[in-house]
Amino acid sequence: MTDSGRPFGIRALTAADHPALAALMVEMQAHYRVPCPPLQAIRDGLAKRPDGVEILIAERRGALLGFASACAIDPEQGLTSGFFLKERDVAAAARGRGIGRALMRALAELALARGHKRLDWTADAANPDLLGFYEGLGAIAQRERVVYRLAGEALSGLARTDA
């Protein structure tokens, strides 16, 4: 499908897309200057991703332009379920063409098709362009929320404790 006549399509990820998506994920990690696992580890992770993880890709003539990954989240406020957007990225050479917006639109459609009532995500508070992009979609920042993370030794330590 194309999105409103744009020269790219949005579709679900297939196993054949894993090498191209892994390469785009390496580019994404470099862009954000964060550590990146080896390429093969990324491919293995894509092949073994848990049930419920949805990955949409934007492509044109077989070239991967961007992706968005989300997973279902259980009911909470108002007892409604939703999607949680984990990652969304557009290849550097393809930015500014409406691909990010099209991916978000496709995720919104998918969320509604799955019976979810919301789409949540986190964003880098120090990136005003990103915040403006999300606000331009009609999203409302949930400033009363704080994101917590357990990782590395803190995660392992908690898992080893007797609760």
Tokens 């054949």 locate to: 16
- Give the pLDDT confidence of 69-111 residue by residue, as tens digits: 999 988 766 677 889 999 999 999 999 999 999 999 999 999 9
> What's the whole-number average pLDDT of the chain?
91
Supply the DSSP string of 30-60, one letter for each residue.
HHTT-----HHHHHHHHHTPPTTEEEEEEEE
Domain CATH for 153? 3.40.630.30
Q: Are 31 and 92 within 8 A, CB to CB?
A: yes
Q: Is the residue at 147 inside a domain?
A: yes
Q: Which two tokens stand for residue 3?
A: 């999105």
Total-model pTM? 0.86
Q: Is the residue at 4 inside a domain?
A: no
Q: Is the residue at 87 inside a domain?
A: yes
Long-range contact pairs involving 122-131 (C-beta distance under 8 Å, separation at least 24): 122/147
- Give the pLDDT confidence of 19-44 residue by residue, as tens digits: 999 999 999 999 989 999 999 999 99
Number of separate domains in the chain = 1
Q: Is the residue at 2 inside a domain?
A: no
On the question of pLDDT at 126 being above 80, the answer is yes
> Which pLDDT value is given to residue 112?
93
Q: Are 31 and 7 within 8 A, CB to CB?
A: no
On the question of pLDDT at 1 being above 50, the answer is no
Q: Is the residue at 40 inside a domain?
A: yes
DSSP symbol at 94: G
Q: Is the residue at 108 inside a domain?
A: yes
> Which pLDDT value is given to residue 69?
97
> How far apart are alpha carbons 48 and 56 in whole angstroms?
16
Q: Is the residue at 85 inside a domain?
A: yes
Q: Is the residue at 1 inside a domain?
A: no
Domain span including residue 69:
9-160
DSSP symbol at 7: S
On the question of pLDDT at 4 being above 60, the answer is no
> Which pLDDT value is given to residue 3?
44
Is the dihedral angle over the CA atoms 130, 49, 34, 17 positive or is it negative?
A: negative
